[in-house]
Structure 1
Amino acid sequence: MKKFFILLFIPFILFAYKVDIQKWKSYKTFYNFLKQNNLPLSIYYNLPINLKRYVRFIPQNETIFLLKENNDFKEALIPINSEKQLQIIKTDNKYNTKIIPIIYNEERKEVQVTIDNYLSYDLYKATHLSILTNKIIDIFNDRVNFRTLPKGTTITVVYNAKKRFSEIKDVKILYAQIKNNFYTINAFLNPYDGRYYDEKGKSLKGMFLKAPLRYKRISSKFGMRFHPILHKWRMHDGVDFVNKIGTPIHAVADGKIIYKGWIRGYGRSVKIRHKNGYITLYAHLHGWPRGIYVGKWVKQGTVIGYLGNSGLSTGPHLHFGVMHNGKWINPLKLKHNVKITLYGKQRKKFLAYINKFSKENNIALK
């Protein structure tokens, strides 16, 4: 993005134009932005309907770049999400707007930290990146109990820092290791499927998440029950998880969306087909995020909906069902900790990749 920025503004820089950098605060609106920079409100009213929705929800603390000459506005770049930005250009007293991609710079970094206090403190002290801790926990939480992580444990991380104008916006962990006197666990990002595996080709995460959301309680389990609305005994072929409306719902495993829409008493629903004959159902949803559609392949943990109260429902909850080979099974008895192991060509390809990666980054494999 830095190269793009320089090329974009070279003609202006040569004539001593000034770049004004602003932060998008939580209380700020696009309307306020236009007024503060003496821009006509017609810029907003002339935007297409889909762009008006975007500018209403510009991410908090995003960096906004404005180009000015003697306080006269020339151009602005405003991120509307992690991939796109709104460009406003003034030419001949007219304001033109368009959406252009955000181009990031990626920088390879490596850090090694010894845990003397606790993980989040020591890792942040070494990198000033709070997101690294959450990513490390997410990768290893099926293998490591972080509440009892021994002091003296060494954490090694190789990652790509995703930058926009020298500001780190995200990181992608390519390799991580947790090592102490009791165990050594390696995690390599497999570029071919996006999962993390150890040096033997065994996944660090189970095939299924323990639950598709953070929930307060389970209001109804799998099995026969007296239906609270229909007032008769019938089979409840899933588990009801209770939380507030809008709670994100995650795909419990990699798979393909095979249904998105309304299903009678289930209300707004999503169905996903997974490997080995599994299908999962997420029902009573409030709605879906953009980009969720039938035929889309999703990764484990992808947000595919939001908890709601649609259909025959006595209150906000998620009905979560699991079907295996055409038969509904108890989701609470699903073996979420079953690991994925690479075999055949996939294993050979992955091992060749980590062998090359380890040599390039001076990683000693066991």
Structure 2
Amino acid sequence: MTESSQGSMRGYGPFPEGAEPTAPIGMHQPPAAHVPPQPTGGHDGQPMSETQASGPPSSGPPSSGIPAGVPSSGIPAGVPSSGIPAGRPPSSGAPSGGNPSYGPFQAAAPDPFGEKQEGWTETPYGFNAPPGRRIEPSPPPERNRLVVGILAGLVVGLLLFGTGGYFAGRATAPKTPEAAPAPAPTATGGLGVFEQSQVTINREDFAGTGLTTMSEGFLPYLSACARPKANAGEKLRVRCTLDGMSAIFVEYNSVADRDKARVKALGQAVDARSLTPGVAPAVEQATPSGRVTGNYVEYAYRLTESGATRTVAGIWWDDAQTPVAGYLLAYWEDGLGAKWDPMRDLWSRYA
């Protein structure tokens, strides 16, 4: 910058931080009473005098190199940068015959447009800004409605899926097989197939003898029946197996022969008191089925087989009217567990 240019810029010192001219170049500056003093120095770093701060005369040429009539701020000529519509007269502080000064504003500068206009707001630069559209704050979301909506959706979803799952399960579930009809009762008192077969098989061994009435209740449960050789005084005998026991039915030649065999059992009943504790006394009574009435005797004896001696327990019963008798035999310890109850139970079921 030359000395001549410095002379031409006398009175146009550098602007303070944040301030820039907004008035068109070449317009008259306001009177000195209305222009605030410049705080910064001149081009040589020395403080500017009050006369220099007032600005150059209106006839002086611009020193910034900008052609006359072109604003330095980029705003078209005739349009003020303060937001005041063009042609609006200032309220106070500006001469009536000229345009107001648009020099740099200071923080403590007075309002260049006079009194505060209605609806305008204060700005950090000390002038009033026109009212803008007020932004209404958004109302807070109604959380209660949101929670209620979520809960209602869950309930509806559960109802729909639950109902759909129920009908889907019903449609895809395997068919329950119908229960097989119960077998019709038979003429033999509701016996099963196996028992009916045993009756048919065992009846042949008792056919044509006086043992049919005494053996009738045992036929469904007997197995391995056979007719071994008869002993002295016996007409015939049928030996069978009954749940691990031996069931023997004998037809004697006479009632006397039958009574002799019973006397032998009564003698063994005396030994049973020590061999098989809990033995019952001999009695005369009818069988549980009522088919026959005769003598009932519990007895026991010792038997040696293959060098081993064991105790055998037995129940005798007969028919007082005919020369027939029957008896059950079992090993006291191995077959009955040293108890009379198992043998008594079988006899009471079928005799």
- Name the TM-score class by shorter chain: under 0.3
More RCO (CA 8 Å, sep 6+) = 1
State which structure, 1 or 2, has the greater radius of gyration over its C-alpha atoms: 2
TM-score norm. by structure 1 comes to: 0.17
Greater per-residue helix proportion: 2
TM-score norm. by structure 2 comes to: 0.17
